[in-house]
Chain A
Amino acid sequence: MSAHSETEKFHYHEPGLQHQFEDMQQQEESVSIGMWMFLVQEIMFFGGLFTAYLVYRSRYPMAFAAGSNHLDAFWGGLNTLVLIVSSLTMALTVFYAQKNNRNMQVLMIVLTMFFGAVFLGVKAIEYTDKFDHGLVPVAGWNKRVPAHAGESHAAVKPCWEVDHNAPAEEHPNPRGEFQFTDCSLVKQAQDGNYLTAAERVGYFSNGQIDGNKFRDKVRIFYYLYFVMTGLHALHMVIGLGLMTWLLITAWRGRYNEDYYMPIEMSGLYWHFVDIVWIFLFPLLYLLGRHFMH
């Protein structure tokens, strides 16, 4: 009993220091390197998807451009800005924790959560739009548009002359299948003689552009779009969970200039998710813009 009290008396612990570390600096460096190792693995995780993107885009660039041109760059760009603002507020959360300012910490966490939620809201709008226009790459997962008897304009015209802005009745989709009828970019690339070897095989049947074969290549783009943005959105949801925890602990005044590592580490995660979107935005939304005239 007395020996224990002796050690307690002379062994001073800083409030945030876990007992397995010598001092705060060692603890902070250990925590940082652990988080960075996790982020490196996250980079490889998203890297696998970027590799799939690279392989298929290098083989079917026109299908990717055509698919991309049916994403709405306005929403994508708005979401990029929203995420950048949320990254700023996240960085400022760390700043105010280092300045012992509890109220501003709480405010910045709330703002970060707000912008994260706006991002997810915009994604919901976009996904709904894809659902309405038959662009979800899984049969039966799209809005069903009943066919009108005796009318099938879309099927009669060659696919490079289809008017994509035509009313929905001209694109009946009774089974909710993936639909993509506009192959004008293939025509353009064929006339300009810049189709890849894979495209010359992959889009044509008997020397004619085959709308169905082309649609299936565009479908690959939409698979990648949904998997990449979907996993990114999942990361955002997890990030919002982390923010909720930070909000509660920061509200209780847990963080100060001596102990703010949970905020710093959650910040690293949040910024990582922002960086992924910085790459997803041009690679998914903008890759075919320059073909639009």
Chain B
Amino acid sequence: MNIPRYLGVFAVLVVGTILTYYAATVDLDFIFPGANTLVALLIAFTKMTCVMLFFMHVYWSPRLIWLSAVASFFWLAIMFAYTMQDYLTRDIGVFMQ
């Protein structure tokens, strides 16, 4: 890594932040409800990937570091998915009323 590259990553992060704000002010619900949140999260994931790969040097790290980073999001996804599988199905099905 050299300084121009660090500044390049920084520029991507700043543009991402401005884009996040701008995208939030436009009503995207005509695409599908919640499209705004999806766009916001996609930008956030892109920013996070930039920070992790270049600022946290994961790109040049051993495979074990890559595995740890990816696994943490895998466990997080399990927590979200199994929790929501309960909450999103509470008002439907044989147990309702």
Q: Is the CB of B55 within 8 A of A290?
A: no
Q: Name A's interface SS.
A: helix
Return chain A residues, CB-CB under 8 Å to B83: 51, 54-55
Q: How far is the CA of A81 from the CA of B47 in the complex (A)?
A: 12
Q: Is A154 among interface residues, defined by CB-CB distance under 8 A?
A: no
Return chain B residues, CB-CB under 8 Å to A73: 21, 24
For residue A247, give the distance in angstroms from its CB to the closest CB of chain B: 20
Return chain A residues, CB-CB under 8 Å to B7: 88
Q: Is A37 among interface residues, defined by CB-CB distance under 8 A?
A: yes
Per-residue B-contact encoding for A37-59, CB less than 8 Å = 1, 0 else: 10110011001101100110011
Q: Is A120 among interface residues, defined by CB-CB distance under 8 A?
A: no
Among the 9-residue stretches A15-23, A121-129, A210-218, A280-288, the one with 4 or more Cβ atoms under 8 Å from chain B is: A280-288
Q: Is the CB of B87 within 8 A of A267?
A: no
A and B contact pairs by CB, cutoff 8 A, 17 listed: A32-B61, A40-B69, A40-B71, A54-B80, A58-B84, A59-B87, A77-B17, A80-B17, A87-B10, A88-B55, A91-B1, A268-B56, A271-B52, A275-B48, A282-B41, A286-B21, A286-B36
Q: Name B's interface SS.
A: helix
Return chain B residues, CB-CB under 8 Å to A111: none
Q: Is A84 among interface residues, defined by CB-CB distance under 8 A?
A: yes
For residue A113, give the distance in angstroms from its CB to the closest CB of chain B: 17
Return chain B residues, CB-CB under 8 Å to A117: none
Return chain A residues, CB-CB under 8 Å to B76: 43-44, 47, 50
Given contacts A32-B65, A291-B27, 12 further A-B contacts (CB under 8 A): A29-B64, A40-B71, A44-B75, A47-B79, A51-B80, A73-B24, A84-B14, A88-B9, A91-B55, A275-B48, A281-B44, A290-B26
Interface size on B, residues (CB 8 A): 50
Q: How far is the CA of A44 from the CA of B34 in the complex (A)?
A: 25
Using CB atoms, name the residue of chain B closest to A282: B40
Per-residue A-contact encoding for B47-76, CB less than 8 Å = 1, 0 else: 110011011110001101100110111011
- Tell which of B14, B20, B72, B88 touches A281, judged by Cβ atoms closer than 8 Å: B20
Q: Is the CB of A92 within 8 A of B56?
A: no
Q: Is A1 among interface residues, defined by CB-CB distance under 8 A?
A: no
Q: Is the CB of B37 within 8 A of A287?
A: yes
Interface size on A, residues (CB 8 A): 51
Q: How far is the CA of A47 from the CA of B71 in the complex (A)?
A: 13
The listed residue with most B CB atoms (<10 A of its CB), out of A88, A194, A287, is A88
Known: A40-B72, A44-B75, A290-B28. A92 touches B17 (CB 8 A): no
Q: How far is the CA of A84 from the CA of B54 in the complex (A)?
A: 13
Which residues of chain A from 156 to 182 have any CB-CB distance to chain B below 8 Å in the complex? none
Q: How far is the CA of A37 from the CA of B75 in the complex (A)?
A: 13
Q: Is the CB of B6 within 8 A of A95?
A: yes
- Tell which of A39, A90, A271 touches B72, judged by Cβ atoms closer than 8 Å: A39
Q: Is the CB of B72 within 8 A of A77?
A: no
For residue B40, give the distance in angstroms from its CB to the closest CB of chain A: 4
Q: Is the CB of B79 within 8 A of A51?
A: yes
Known: A33-B68, A91-B55, A289-B24. A282 touches B10 (CB 8 A): no
The listed residue with most A CB atoms (<10 A of its CB), out of B9, B41, B87, is B87
Known: A51-B80, A275-B52, A278-B44. A92 touches B64 (CB 8 A): no
